[in-house]
Amino acid sequence: MTEHSAGNGRENTNIESLLKEGRVFKPSAAFSKGTEVGSPAAWEKLRAQASKSPVKFWEARAKELRWEKPWKKALDWKFPFAKWFVGGKLNASANCLDRHLEGPRANKAAIIWEGEPGEQRTLTYRQLHREVCVFANTLKKLGIRSGDRVAIYMPMVPEAAVAMLACARIGATHSVVFGGFSAEALRDRIQDAQAKAVITADGGWRKGAIVPLKAAVDDALAQCPGVETVVVLRRCGSVVSMKEGRDHWWQDALRGVGADCPPAALDAEHPLFILYTSGSTGKPKGVLHTTGGYLTHAAYSARLVFDLKENDVFWCTADIGWVTGHSYVVYGPLANGATVLMYEGAPMTPAPDRFWDLIERHRVTVFYTAPTAIRAFVRLGAEHVRKHDLSSLRLLGTVGEPINPEAWLWYRKEVGGDRCPIVDTWWQTETGGIMISPLPGATGTKPGSATKPLPGIDAAVVDKDGKPVPKGSGGLLVVRRPWPGMLRTVYGDPERYRAQYFSQIPGCYFTGDGARVDKDGYFWILGRVDDVINVAGHRLSTMEIESALVGHPRVAEAAVVGHPDELKGQGITAFVTLQTGVAAGPEMVDALKGAVAKAIGSIARPDVIRFADALPKTRSGKIMRRLLRDVAAGVKTSGDTTTLEDFAALAKLQPVQDE
Ligand code: WT7
């Protein structure tokens, strides 16, 4: 094999020595020179300033936004409930749009969009502003008011961003539901948020086929009597059913609607959005973010971490259905007046080089994607990358899961031409924005480490009592002080908010992740310590998948665990016991996988289903997940099994051939 054939990334035999050597990749002098925080000393100065008076530090960041009315009190912290910039008024859409119309940015591209079939559209800040104003007025015309919840179930088209910003403009709280979620998952989210309206499309393009979004909405709404209005974007031209009085075509609804829509001056703590995420129970949590603090954090982190410059073309590949899409496709970059690339479809459609082709043609400068995508590209081979001129790139980022050093090094070499720094960004739906990350002009990076908390963020690795663990030891990742982008509550369930995040470690926000800090103060994320699995960068609750499985009439009991997967980080193994007399077989496997896809979406479809006569349990009846994880991973179980109620159950777990 030649030096360049990075077919599966394994021929990088120098990786181990490189890791042993603990090599640090320093940003080049040329890169550092042009950045806001351009040296370790500048970073340290900012960090020291932030930790000396964190609230003041965040106030200075908040002042970079446009406020209609200044705040009276920067932080009101009644553990565990925070309010930031109390008494202040602002509008998120005005900060992302109107602010940029006053100078040369007015005619700058805000969104460059490409559909999967290849259509292209560019919206300047002025055009995007106009579309948002017209659509905001349309929402008002349809009866949507400040404080109403609006579900958005859209493909990756500019109108998805328009819908979000239009809601923000009038003070309606959006709840974006990922277009890959099933009708049932959509229904649950609409019901929980008591959404009054749904914004959707006839469909979206994915892998050469139409995702029938409107049909899923129709199914979901059969059980959502609270939804009075549905706006349907004509995207694919497919045939859909429209319910008289309830459903309106987007393109028709805005006919004759004016573009004069002053942004509502909203309280800093006005709910901007709800985003559902999986936790360690069967029911997804509605993570609530508010306006002033969230936008402060999103704007500051986008600028510092991605070093956003006037001429950048920033491409974050995340779907707007995830928090990454909220903070780094829409709010963060637009608040900075940046140009974003938005792409509708799948990475390998029509060919495995689609991403590189997009980067070359649109001269993308900053590229932010998920490790799982990088691993898929590694597997496909570097020849697809090398076909394209990627010299426009100057900075790379990753998010969503730990990145293995092999993939990191491949990314750096093949995509970044050994020239672009990589920012490995750790954060969560709950944190609103990036929490732990290099600053690209200042931080030396180590492959696989998210490096250090951003200035202003007090993250630490502690034991169960909240005491910091010694350097090098594993512990629990917490945040010890409130920060502006933090979630404010779980929608409709403050008790769950407290229990989930603030009851496990005294005085701290608990992230659910394990981590360790090395001798240089670098954070290494070790993964979830709760019943949450991370599949291809997407967070899934084992309990949620279990409840989908036991919802099947033939299933008696189910336990779901993650198993290591080279590509996706983790795969899903389900251990299932069937009702007596029901035969286990391939049809049952298909039926159960289908049941999960129906209840949640294809992303949650188990990779492996194993049938058992009984599940291994402790005397108190708790399923022994640790043991099942070992079985799923094919590891000989090492743990203590003396409390196993039925020791024989383990031996009876039969792998069923699968794909
Ligand atoms: C969980 C949050 C934040 C946007 C995408 C995921 C894992 C996230 C990293 C990283 C290691 C990471 C954590 C975290 N995670 N980024 N850079 N390195 N792990 O958002 O669905 O809320 O999931 O993703 O386990 O807790 P999310």
Write down the domain spans for the chain: 22-91+272-309+365-458+492-504, 124-263, 536-653
pLDDT, tens only, 162-171: 999 999 999 9
The fraction of the chain above a pLDDT of 70, given in percent, is 93
**Preceding omega of 80 cis (within 30 degrees of 0):** yes
pLDDT, tens only, 543-580: 889 989 989 999 988 999 999 999 999 999 999 999 88
pLDDT reported for residue 469? 95
Count the helices and strands in the chain (H runs, E runs). Answer: 22, 32
CA–chain centroid gap for 34, Å, is 29
Looking at residues 150-158, what average pLDDT do you find?
98
CB 322 within 8 A of CB 534: no
Strands 366-369 and 313-316: parallel
Atom of ligand 1 nearest to the CA of 539: 21
Secondary structure of 10-41 as H, E, C letters: CCCCCHHHHHHHCCCECCCHHHHHCCCCCCHH
Q: Could you tell me the sign of the dihedral formed by the alpha carbons of 370, 376, 378, 383, in that order? A: negative
Whether pLDDT at 416 is above 60: yes
| Cα distances (Å, whole numbers) of residue 496 to 284, 293, 500 | 11, 22, 6
CA of 352 to the centre of ligand 1 (A): 26
Atom of ligand 1 nearest to the CA of 436: 17
Q: Which residue, among 398, 394, 425, 393, has the nearest Cα to 409 in the 3D structure?
A: 398
Choosing from 288, 396, 525 the residue with most ligand 1 atoms within 8 A of its CB, the one to mutate for a pocket test is 525
The class of domain 22-91+272-309+365-458+492-504 in CATH terms is alpha beta
pLDDT reported for residue 420? 98
Tokens at 15, concatenated: 């990786």
pTM greater than 0.75: yes
Choosing from 176, 399, 423, 437 the residue with most ligand 1 atoms within 8 A of its CB, the one to mutate for a pocket test is 399
pLDDT, tens only, 316-364: 999 999 999 999 999 999 999 999 999 999 999 999 999 999 999 999 9
Q: Which residue, among 171, 375, 352, 326, has the nearest Cα to 262 in the 3D structure?
A: 171
Whether pLDDT at 644 is above 50: no
pLDDT, tens only, 85-131: 999 999 999 999 999 999 999 999 999 999 999 999 999 999 999 99
Atom of ligand 1 nearest to the CA of 434: 3
pLDDT reported for residue 636? 53
pLDDT, tens only, 37-68: 999 999 999 999 999 999 999 999 999 999 99
pLDDT, tens only, 522-532: 999 998 888 88
Q: Which residue, among 277, 268, 256, 357, has the nearest Cα to 315 in the 3D structure?
A: 357
Q: Which CATH number fits domain 536-653: 3.40.50.720, 3.30.1330.10, 3.40.50.10490, 3.30.300.30?
A: 3.30.300.30
pLDDT reported for residue 334? 98
Atom of ligand 1 nearest to the CA of 532: 25
Spatial distance between the Cα atoms of 454 and 243, rounded to a whole number of angstroms: 49
CB 163 within 8 A of CB 174: yes
pLDDT reported for residue 19? 55
Residue nearest to atom 14 of ligand 1 (CA): 428
The fraction of the chain above a pLDDT of 90, given in percent, is 84
Atom of ligand 1 nearest to the CA of 323: 4
Give yes or no on whether 22-91+272-309+365-458+492-504 and 124-263 have one common fold.
yes
pLDDT, tens only, 215-262: 999 999 999 999 999 999 999 999 999 999 999 999 999 999 999 999
The class of domain 124-263 in CATH terms is alpha beta
**Mean pLDDT of the chain, nearest integer:** 92
CB 464 within 8 A of CB 43: no
pLDDT class of 14 with cuts at 50, 70, 90 = very low
Residue nearest to atom 1 of ligand 1 (CA): 428
Secondary structure of 484-539 as H, E, C letters: CCCCCEECCCHHHHHHHHHCCCCCCEEEEEEEEECCCCCEEEEEECCCEEEECCEE
Amino acid identity at 336 = N
CB 73 within 8 A of CB 98: no
Whether pLDDT at 3 is above 60: no
Spatial distance between the Cα atoms of 316 and 325, rounded to a whole number of angstroms: 7
Instruction: Find the range with the poorest average confidence among 367-376, 474-483, 615-624.
Output: 615-624
Amino acid identity at 254 = L
Higher per-residue confidence, 625 vs 509: 509
Whether pLDDT at 402 is above 80: yes
CA of 534 to the centre of ligand 1 (A): 8
CB 314 within 8 A of CB 333: yes
pLDDT, tens only, 591-629: 999 999 999 999 999 999 999 888 888 777 788 888 888
Ramachandran region, residue 537 (left: φ > 0; alpha: ψ -120 to 50; beta: rest): left
Whether pLDDT at 648 is above 90: no
pLDDT class of 20 with cuts at 50, 70, 90 = low
Pocket around ligand 1: residues whose beta carbon is below 6 Å from it?
A: 277, 323-324, 399-402, 424-429, 450, 511-513, 525, 527-528, 534, 539
CA of 446 to the centre of ligand 1 (A): 18
pLDDT reported for residue 657? 43
pLDDT reported for residue 617? 80
Whether pLDDT at 653 is above 70: no
